[in-house]
Amino acid sequence: MNIFNRNKNTDSEKQPQQPKYNGFNVSNKLFWTEGYGSMALAVLAALTIRWLLLEAYVIPSGSMLPTLLINDHIFVNKITYGVRVPFSENWLVKFREPDRGEIVVFKYPVDPSTFFIKRIVGVPGDKIKFDNGSLYVNDILQEKVVPQSNWNFDWLRDEDFNTREGLYKDSKSNYSHFTEKLLNAKKEMVEHSILMPKSQIVGFPGDGEWVVPEDHLFVMGDNRYNSHDSRFWGFMPKKNILGRASFVWLSCEEMIPFVPVICNPLTIRFGRFFHNVSQ
């Protein structure tokens, strides 16, 4: 009996200890399901989704009216053009090139720490001309027609046309809603809403002609006379693209003043939930 007991104790002493990392038992199932490990996995999953699949953004200005409203919360598709090396502008794999008519979120070339959202109207090699409110792509006038539905336009308020600083007051009644048709690489017509002022603007500084260079895009806002875009700061490098706008998942007229990233629940625009903005 004494020998048996000694052997038993010796075997027990030789049992491998559970692996630990900084004092945590990482081999314990509960560590990964209920402990700190589960939180680490949740953070890793969220970062992976943000890097690879979807990322949320809030529309801060009226440059994309009436397609996107101020305080629209959108999801951006990060994988539509390919997969990038994390924290890099280099591609692991590319699926396709950005095309005319698509709405993209990108790093502002003048200040990469700032993100912009605009519509692609020109791809490499395109000749772009904007003259007196008319858009030409490769010398072809892009057709503007009166839309059959004013769904986008009906959401707008006079407040949407005022500058953030309150220095300039404008009104919805000063604008007309049109549908513009852009021909994409698949020879399909991409129809989208644009805003145009009712009164003619003479000597608009955004008028001009451009030829899009390799690896760059020409982008414009749908609110054609109230958008800071390629007409003013130049071409957008493809490498700056963060993703393609997909759909609105939340929208409100006002944010909570002391927490400007959260919607005021009394001003939520329920009718815009899951509104597709991929065109």
Question: What amino acid positions are annotated as catalytic residues?
Answer: 63, 118
Token pair recorded at residue 89: 């502008």
Q: Answer yes or no: are the C-beta atoms of 229 and 63 closer than 8 Å.
A: yes
Give percent helix, percent strand, percent coil of the chain, each to the nearest 5: 20, 35, 45
30: left (phi > 0), else alpha (psi -120 to 50), else beta?
Answer: alpha
3-state secondary structure (DSSP) of residue 184: coil
DSSP, collapsed to helix, strand or coil, labels residue 52 as helix
- 267, two tokens: 């001003």
How many whole angstroms separate alpha carbon 255 and alpha carbon 174?
26
Q: Within 13 A of 257's CA, how many CA atoms are on the CB side?
A: 0
Taken in order 154, 155, 159, 162, is the CA torsion positive or negative? negative
Q: Which residues contact 88 (CB under 8 A, 6 or more apart)?
A: none
Locate 119 and state its tokens.
């519509």
